[in-house]
Amino acid sequence: MDFSIPDELQVVLKKAREFVEQELYPLEPIFFEQGFATVEPELHKKRAKVKQMGMWLPQIEREHGGMGLSLLEHGLFSAEIGRTPLGNFAFNCQAPDSGNMELLLQYASPEQQEKYLKPLLNGDIRSCFGMTEPDFPGSNPVWMGTTAVKDGDDYVLNGRKWWTTGGDGATFCVVMAVTDPNAPPHFRASQILVPTDTPGFIIETTTPFMGHRGESWASHSEVRLDNCRVPQANRLGPEGAGFLMAQERLGPGRIHHCMRWIGVCERAFDLMCQYAVKRDISPDRPLASKQFIQGWIAESRAEIDAARLMVLHAAWVIDNHGAKAARDDISLIKFTVANTMMRVVDRALQAHGGLGVTDYTPLAMFYRMERAARIYDGTDEVHKLSVAKRILQRYA
C-alpha cells in the first residue's frame, strides 16, 4: 500500500491550497454575514477561474471534462478544498451534485445524459436528491412512503421528502420512490428524474436548522410531491434498483465527505494554533503557554493524522478492490472522522473564547453545520452496529 504523493499531484494540491486561501477565504465573511445567495455571483467567477486552471470536476474522468483523479487522489484534493465551506462548490464537486453526476454517468440513458448530465457537469445547473422523509426513519432507508404509480406512459408521484440539500434553485431532483410495494424491501424503490418545475413538485420551505435557514445550494428543502407526473422514460436505471444504486453512490461519497472533514479539521487546527501564539492572556504570556492548550493541540494533531490515514486506506481499498471489500473501512471512517472533526472544532472554538462563537471566524459555522455529519449518510450508531456485526460474524 503506497500513500506517497506523486510530484504532479503535489503541484495540483499546492495550487488548490493557494486558490482556496487567496480566492475563497476572502469571500467567507460575506457568506457568514449575508448568506450564500449574496456571495454566489462572485463564486461563479471563481468557478470560471477553476475551469481555466484545469481543476474542474476533480472526481470525474477526463473524457467527461474532469481531472480524472482516483478516489485516493480526490480524497487528498478534498482535504485541501474542504478547508472552506465554499471549496467544493467552487470546484463543482459539491454534494449532492457530485453523487448525482456519478449516478447519471453510470445509469442515465443518452437522452437523460444530454438533458441533465452535460449541463450539470458544466456547472450550468444544480440538482438535488430526494430520499429522506419526515415520516420515516432515515436509519431504515428501504422504508419510505413516497410512491410512483404507473399511469399510461407516466409515473404519478406522491409523497414528502426533506433534507433535500440544494433543492432551492435546483433544476431537477433524483427522487427515490416506491414503484413496487410488493417486491422484497430492497427492490421496492426506483430512482426517477423529476424536473423541479414539474406541476406537483412543490418546495414547501427550506428547513431551519441550528438557528439558520440558508438559501440556494447552502440549504435543505422540504418537498411535497402532489400527483407529480413525469414520463416513465425519466426512470434512472432498472425499476426496483433504486436502493442498490443509492448504496453505490454512498460508498465513494463517504470518502468525499470524510476527506472534506479532514480539511475542516486542518482549518480549525490552524486557527487554534495561530490564535494560541498571538493571543496574550497577560503581558508577555501567550495563550500557547497554557498546558490545556498544548494538550488540545497535541491530541488534535494525533487524531487528525490518524483519521487521515484511515480515510486514505479506505480509498485505496475501493480503488484497488472495490467498494464491497471496503465495507468495514467505510463504516469505520464515517463515525471516526465525524467525531474527530467535532472534537477538533470544539477545542478550536473553546480556545478562541468569545471570538469562537461569533461569525468572525469559520469555527461557529463549522460547529453548527457539521454537527449533522454524525447523522446524514448513516448515523454513528448504524455504522457501529453494522461493522460490529460483520466483525463478529467472522469470529463466529
Which pTM value belongs to this model? 0.92
* C-alpha cell of residue 15: 495550487
Helix/strand/coil (H/E/C) assignment for every residue in 348-390: HHHHCHHHHHCCCCCHHHHHHHHHHHHCCCCCHHHHHHHHHHH
Does domain 127-236 fall into CATH 2.40.110.10? Answer: yes
Q: If DSSP codes are grouped into helix, strand and coil, which group holds residue 250?
A: helix
Of these ranges, 176-190, 252-266, 366-380, the one predicted with the greatest mean pLDDT is 176-190
In the chain, where are the structural domains located? Answer: 7-100, 127-236, 243-395
Q: Are 55 and 12 in contact (CB under 8 A)?
A: yes
* Residue 221, phi then psi, degrees to nearest 5: -100, 155
**Max CA-CA distance within the chain?**
80
- Given a cut of 70, whether residue 251 has pLDDT beyond it is no
Q: Which CATH superfamily is domain 7-100 in?
A: Acyl-CoA dehydrogenase/oxidase, N-terminal domain (1.10.540.10)
- Given a cut of 90, whether residue 19 has pLDDT beyond it is yes
pLDDT at 142: 86
- Cα distance between residue 64 and residue 57, in whole Å: 9
Other C-beta atoms lying within 10 Å of the C-beta of residue 270: 12
- Over residues 106-146, the pLDDT tens digits come to 999 999 999 999 999 999 999 999 999 999 988 788 899 99
pLDDT at 210: 87
pLDDT-based confidence at 200, cuts 50/70/90?
very high
- Cα distance between residue 16 and residue 342, in whole Å: 24
Choose among 152, 163, 193: nearest CA to 176: 193
Choose among 103, 116, 134: nearest CA to 247: 103
- Given a cut of 90, whether residue 309 has pLDDT beyond it is yes
Q: Which residue has the higher pLDDT, 1 or 194?
A: 194
Which CATH fold would you assign to the domain 243-395? Butyryl-CoA Dehydrogenase, subunit A; domain 3 (1.20.140)
CA-derived radius of gyration, the chain: 21
